[in-house]
Structure 1
């Protein structure tokens, strides 16, 4: 008896993994319609999800700050470049803490080469986890900004993505329910591990398209890509229709609330006829596979999963067909793998079933892999210090400061060596302009090199000009002169007298050779002088090299100990050798400065913890001295501290505040009090006296 299902071919283990999909395929799954009371119970949890996952103004400020920094430190290094933000965060359809997507537009760029250069710049700035991914459809460089904690992706000339973002932003502005539904769906997809395109499920962008498609079908928003006036652009020799008509309106707009829209989203997608339709927001309605030309290719996801082969076949294309709104030949499900497709369909069915069975929103979004989402939780930056004594932390701080001092000396030595090699390279080219920071010996040599280099260039220019005019070398000219002179002065044979024309040609050639000989002699003299000056230049450069490489003992020792500069010898006769040395030192400097950045952060963290503990103990002592009255509540030092709290600690925000409050009074009111009470009031009653 086979241990596989006769209908789906799934094993018992896979039936358990994909129980909702299996029941649906064999026709036993029931999706109940929830009552109005059940739906009403979702209202508050969904609103909490929307509010808690909406991007906070502080995150927007951090992104703006980082964007401006990258614009100055990276984009400005490439002529004609423009840095732009795109993606869900820019369109407003992102969860809080999502990636920060940037596009650097550079005309005629070598994308891979530029990404590698950007990667080096970012490492030099102390960015963390810098990864250059050139094998993707859109090559990117990924990194984490340690200051803001933002995860950033930079792509090159990803122009179409900017237009996609503009389209999604337009839909987001068209109706607030677009953003609300997108946040709820992405929150669910994140916790059910369905929004990871790298690992075979749909991307966040694809979920946004599915949300907009559903709202189009429900009549919540109009199709913004319809209309007679079309906008066509050309990218990489291909034409794209990027028409967006924000004025388009629906004929009868739906007033469905977010709860009913979310329920219908799960139900409709779970029971969708994927075998015969393609999702297309450009079309405004589902397209048939025949009209689109995307057939449901074999093998299917079930075929791949049920394969007994050691290396299962690759799944066919266009199974969960989702058309990109602008790049209409791009299927957004291209990244989905067989198991990913089955999980997506199973989870959609699960959500629809749980909705109808009275489960809570928390149960529907129960986290599948909590370890994967741990980085999204607030990080306690003092987690490893809470069990240590103040003396132990102080010792760690002193050790860190010692490492910083040693690294600082090494960086100084590297910078001195870099400047030295840079001057050598410039001196050999004779292009040093500024000599005010050089020693007297250096200055004398470099000034001479500069003047002599100009003379060498002038001699070379004159010599080459003559050599271009006089083709023959001087020894050939002299040989030819001797031959022509002999012919002109030899005794004539009366039987072989040359014609007058021939004699004129001989004399003309002789005169021309004489002129050429004079020029060739001049070129030879110029060349000899050129050789003498070049030889003198080399001798002076040797002297300069002695001065430049004469470091103090400490600096020389640090350079010898630098492991990243070992086996990087210099050929003192080649200017290119100094250039390579400068580049190598620059790479080392970037790495060492990155290490210094981390040490400074660690030092600040340790100082903050010591200050926090000190303030806490100081507060306890003060409360012990006070008698009566209400003291200030001491801040609990046992709770987790996030990165956002560190600035307050460093600025001494926990210092003791005066217990007595003083009430501020405006200067105007104070002046009125000095004048007395001028308002209308009854005076004191006195005894009436008769007038005399």
Structure 2
């Protein structure tokens, strides 16, 4: 006998995982209505969630700073391109710490080539975890900016997403409760692990649409896509209606507070008739599946989960149907997998039940798999230094600086080698223009190479021009010239006298051969000179090679240590050989500069800790001297983040600048002693009545 549920078909394990959904499908789940006092108790926790998890001004400044940097370093590299911000962070509906989405618009772009170039630029800048995803529907480059800690996605020509962001931003500005409810819902979804489209649940964007749909139904906001005048654009041979009317408003606006809105959000979605309706904020209300043509296809999520086959069939489409407001053919639940769909529905039911049974907001948002969110917590960058003495940290700092010095010498050696190989390649091509940075012996050779290369080109062109005009080689011309001359000067046979016409032709041919002979001799001389100059050029290049490869012992050892340059021999006769070495050196330089970037950050971290420690100890000593008693030590405020370091360093600058005294001229000092001589009301001239 099977131990599966007779109604749902779920195994005992899945019944335990999906207990709320299981009870709901068996019609045995009770969702109680919370009291007004209970809902009132949610006000402060929800406001705390909004305040602590929304994007703050400091986050916006970090994003703007990075955006401006990327605009200069990346967008400027592509003619006619434009870099724009989009996504939840730009619309204001994102949690703090969310991804930073950027769109690079380039007309007629070769996306794979551009992505590869962007990836190289980012790696050269020291960006971390650079990933190029070129096979996605919208190609992107993902990376982490080590300075700000931001996770960034740059997409290519994701134009429709810019309009989606504009729509969500308009809704966020229409009523503050849009942003508040979105942050609370996304906070809950994040901690309950149902807001990850990569792993088969709904995306952050989809949750935003569900929030707006609920607020439309509650009369909090008006439909901003309604109106007679429509705006239609064409993208990739498809038309999209991007009409947005921010001025649309409701005649009577609901004043429902955030706790009530959140409770009704969970309750309505938990008990929603997903089988027959589709979420559509474009229409301002749900629409039927028949009108849209999106049927609830088989197999269902339950069928997939209950399937005992090793490779169950793919789930049908449009189960949790959510229409994209601009791309109306796109269902936002397309990324949802069977297990993800069931977990989403189970979590919505769980939240609705817990709202009614007196649970707290913290309990409703209890984290699933806390290890998953550890990177979202503020990082204490001094965690490994707190139990170390200042002397130990100072030694660590000195060691790091020594490593930086050694790496700096290695980078210098690589740069010298790179420039040397570049000059060799250019010299062999004869295209060196600038010689101001070369040594004296280099300069003399390079100048000679450049002038000689120009002369070789001129001689070659002149020789080839003559050879194209004079078809016969010189030895054939001389043979023919000798024959014609003999015919013209031999004794005539009176019985075989040539005609006048024939004799004229012979003389004409003789004169032409003489001219050809002169040109052919000139071409031969030019060819000999060409050979001589080429030989001389090769000899000079050999001399240059000797100078270029003549490093000091220290530089040679550093180059020998570079793994990317091992077993990369150079064929001095091939220009491409030098080009390949330059490419390998460039790769090595990128790696070493990345290492230098990390060492500099580490040195800055250690130095900041020492400054912080010395500042605290100095304050304690100062307090003891002034008051005669030790001041109560200031408690550690917890982990210090990158922002705290910035504040610490800026505070030091302010403190040092505040100690500077302003020098006042003697003339001004004298005027101050005299007092204020300007016209003003005083008591000196006032009449006082005698008593």
Q: Does the C-alpha gap of structure 1 residues 491 and 238 become closer, same or farther in structure 2, counting only changes over 3 Å? A: farther
2:240 partner SS: strand
1:155 partner SS: strand
Q: Does the C-alpha gap of structure 1 residues 268 and 555 become closer, same or farther in structure 2, counting only changes over 3 Å? A: same
1:22 aligned partner: 22
Q: Mapping of 1:59-138 within 5 angstroms? A: 59-138=59-138
Q: Is 1:201 matched up with 2:171?
A: no
51-60 vs 507-516, greater mean Cα deviation:
507-516
**Structure 1: how far apart are the matches of 2:198 and 2:522?**
72
1:144 aligned partner: 144
Q: Is 1:233 matched up with 2:233?
A: yes
**Structure 2: how far apart are the matches of 1:477 and 1:233?**
74
**Which TM-score applies when normalising by structure 2?**
0.88
2:4 aligned partner: 4
Q: Is 1:642 matched up with 2:641?
A: yes
**Structure 2: how far apart are the matches of 1:535 and 1:173?**
76
1:189 aligned partner: 189
399-408 vs 503-512, greater mean Cα deviation:
503-512
Q: Mapping of 1:305-344 within 5 angstroms? A: 305-344=305-344
Q: Does the C-alpha gap of structure 1 residues 544 and 352 become closer, same or farther in structure 2, counting only changes over 3 Å? A: same
161-170 vs 34-43, greater mean Cα deviation:
34-43
**Structure 1: how far apart are the matches of 2:434 and 2:211?**
62
**Structure 1: how far apart are the matches of 2:324 and 2:486?**
88
Q: Does the C-alpha gap of structure 1 residues 684 and 647 become closer, same or farther in structure 2, counting only changes over 3 Å? A: same
Q: Is the 8 A contact 1:53 1:183 kept in 2?
A: yes
**Structure 2: how far apart are the matches of 1:487 and 1:356?**
126
**Structure 2: how far apart are the matches of 1:635 and 1:656?**
19
Once the two structures are TM-superposed, the CA of residue 511 in structure 1 deviates from its matched residue by 7.8
Once the two structures are TM-superposed, the CA of residue 248 in structure 1 deviates from its matched residue by 2.6
**Structure 2: how far apart are the matches of 1:335 and 1:507?**
92
Q: Which runs of 5+ in 1 are unaligned?
A: none
**Structure 1: how far apart are the matches of 2:677 and 2:655?**
34
Q: Does the C-alpha gap of structure 1 residues 507 and 169 become closer, same or farther in structure 2, counting only changes over 3 Å? A: farther
Q: Is 1:411 matched up with 2:383?
A: no
1:592 aligned partner: 592
**Structure 1: how far apart are the matches of 2:499 and 2:298?**
95
Q: Is the 8 A contact 1:144 1:150 kept in 2?
A: yes
Once the two structures are TM-superposed, the CA of residue 481 in structure 1 deviates from its matched residue by 5.9
**Structure 2: how far apart are the matches of 1:363 and 1:266?**
15
Q: Mapping of 1:34-53 within 5 angstroms? A: 34-53=34-53
Once the two structures are TM-superposed, the CA of residue 293 in structure 1 deviates from its matched residue by 2.7
576-585 vs 87-96, greater mean Cα deviation:
576-585
414-423 vs 382-391, greater mean Cα deviation:
382-391
Q: Is 1:278 matched up with 2:278?
A: yes
Q: Is the 8 A contact 1:103 1:158 kept in 2?
A: yes
**Structure 2: how far apart are the matches of 1:278 and 1:533?**
81
Once the two structures are TM-superposed, the CA of residue 390 in structure 1 deviates from its matched residue by 2.6
156-165 vs 219-228, greater mean Cα deviation:
219-228
**Structure 1: how far apart are the matches of 2:285 and 2:154?**
33
2:380 partner SS: coil
291-300 vs 93-102, greater mean Cα deviation:
291-300
Once the two structures are TM-superposed, the CA of residue 363 in structure 1 deviates from its matched residue by 1.4
1:402 aligned partner: 402
Q: Does the C-alpha gap of structure 1 residues 226 and 499 become closer, same or farther in structure 2, counting only changes over 3 Å? A: farther
2:370 aligned partner: 370
Q: Mapping of 1:253-292 within 5 angstroms? A: 253-292=253-292
**Structure 2: how far apart are the matches of 1:382 and 1:301?**
47
1:474 aligned partner: 473
Q: Which runs of 5+ in 2 are unaligned?
A: 662-668
Q: CA RMSD in A?
A: 3.8
Q: Does the C-alpha gap of structure 1 residues 84 and 473 become closer, same or farther in structure 2, counting only changes over 3 Å? A: farther
**Structure 1: how far apart are the matches of 2:373 and 2:635?**
27
375-384 vs 271-280, greater mean Cα deviation:
271-280
Q: Is the 8 A contact 1:178 1:211 kept in 2?
A: yes
Q: Does the C-alpha gap of structure 1 residues 76 and 654 become closer, same or farther in structure 2, counting only changes over 3 Å? A: closer
Question: How big is each residue's C-alpha offset from its partner over 1:604-652, in whole Å with a ceiling of 9 and x where there is no partner?
Answer: 22222223333333344444444458x7654435832222222344467
361-370 vs 459-468, greater mean Cα deviation:
459-468
Q: Mapping of 1:541-620 within 5 angstroms? A: 541-620=541-620
Q: Is the 8 A contact 1:225 1:282 kept in 2?
A: yes
Q: Does the C-alpha gap of structure 1 residues 521 and 278 become closer, same or farther in structure 2, counting only changes over 3 Å? A: farther
Q: Does the C-alpha gap of structure 1 residues 307 and 152 become closer, same or farther in structure 2, counting only changes over 3 Å? A: same
362-371 vs 640-649, greater mean Cα deviation:
640-649
Once the two structures are TM-superposed, the CA of residue 383 in structure 1 deviates from its matched residue by 1.0
**Which TM-score applies when normalising by structure 1?**
0.88
Q: Is the 8 A contact 1:474 1:517 kept in 2?
A: no
1:104 partner SS: strand
Q: Is the 8 A contact 2:305 2:338 kept in 1?
A: yes
Q: Is the 8 A contact 1:296 1:319 kept in 2?
A: yes
Q: Does the C-alpha gap of structure 1 residues 652 and 176 become closer, same or farther in structure 2, counting only changes over 3 Å? A: closer
Q: Does the C-alpha gap of structure 1 residues 624 and 586 become closer, same or farther in structure 2, counting only changes over 3 Å? A: same
Question: How big is each residue's C-alpha offset from its partner over 1:392-441, in whole Å with a ceiling of 9 and x where there is no partner?
Answer: 22222222122111111111111111111122222222222221221111
**Structure 2: how far apart are the matches of 1:387 and 1:549?**
50
**Structure 2: how far apart are the matches of 1:672 and 1:557?**
75
Q: Is the 8 A contact 2:55 2:94 kept in 1?
A: yes
Once the two structures are TM-superposed, the CA of residue 674 in structure 1 deviates from its matched residue by 10
**Structure 2: how far apart are the matches of 1:289 and 1:498?**
107
Q: Is the 8 A contact 1:194 1:344 kept in 2?
A: yes
Q: Is the 8 A contact 2:280 2:323 kept in 1?
A: yes
Q: Mapping of 1:521-560 within 5 angstroms? A: 522-523=522-523, 525-560=525-560
Question: How big is each residue's C-alpha offset from its partner over 1:295-334, in whole Å with a ceiling of 9 and x where there is no partner?
Answer: 3222221121111122222222222222222222222222
2:665 aligned partner: none
Q: Is 1:298 matched up with 2:298?
A: yes
1:101 partner SS: strand
Once the two structures are TM-superposed, the CA of residue 193 in structure 1 deviates from its matched residue by 0.9
